[in-house]
């Protein structure tokens, strides 16, 4: 009940963390805002549904923090895919820029088999992407910490910010 005697609609549908609440409407809204062409919408739906049930958002404020966490986690997932593509591109011969006669003499495709041979900072795009991933990790940590506080769950020392906010 709220202070004016009306039913508090925000907590009306409150569920315990890990409950089987249907998040279809929330997931569709997130999908429209976040999933881009070339990404698998079903994969995002499964990803978001699993996280929402784990996070246990019980009201609109908690749902905002949960959505922020999911948005950031999906961007992190996307950034990891981009990083993989960039590193694969870095270790693939650039045959399309060569003249046709030279292209025939190069092996079709090769890949570095050990991570020690990959130069993460050879390309500024990779360096910037790695920095972006660190920012996303910090944002996910902050959103999860705020959600835990809102839910009244204990926040451990590990969860406390390191003056990064």
Q: How far is CA 118 from the centre of its chain?
A: 24
pTM of the model: 0.68
DSSP 97-164: GS-HHHHTTS-S-----SGGG--TTSSHHHHHHHHHHHHHHHHHHHHHHHHHHHHT----GGGS--S-
Considering only 11-15, 43-47, 107-111, 118-122, which range has the smallest mean pLDDT?
11-15
Residue of higher predicted confidence among 91 and 17? 91
């Amino acid at each position: 009940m709220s202070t004016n005697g009306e039913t508090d609609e925000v907590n009306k549908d409150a569920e315990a963390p890990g409950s089987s609440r249907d998040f279809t409407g929330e997931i569709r809204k997130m999908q429209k805002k976040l999933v881009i062409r070339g990404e698998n919408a079903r994969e995002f739906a499964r990803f978001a549904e699993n996280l929402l049930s784990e996070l246990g958002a019980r009201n609109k404020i908690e749902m905002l923090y949960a959505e922020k966490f999911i948005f950031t986690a999906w961007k992190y997932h996307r950034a990891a895919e981009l990083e993989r593509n960039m590193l694969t591109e870095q270790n693939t011969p650039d045959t399309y820029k060569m003249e046709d006669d030279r292209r025939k003499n190069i092996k079709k495709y090769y890949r570095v088999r050990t991570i020690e041979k990959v130069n993460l900072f050879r390309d500024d795009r990779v360096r910037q992407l790695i920095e972006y991933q660190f920012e996303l990790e910090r944002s996910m940590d902050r959103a999860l910490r705020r959600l835990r506080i809102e839910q009244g769950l204990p926040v451990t020392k590990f969860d406390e910010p390191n003056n990064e906010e």
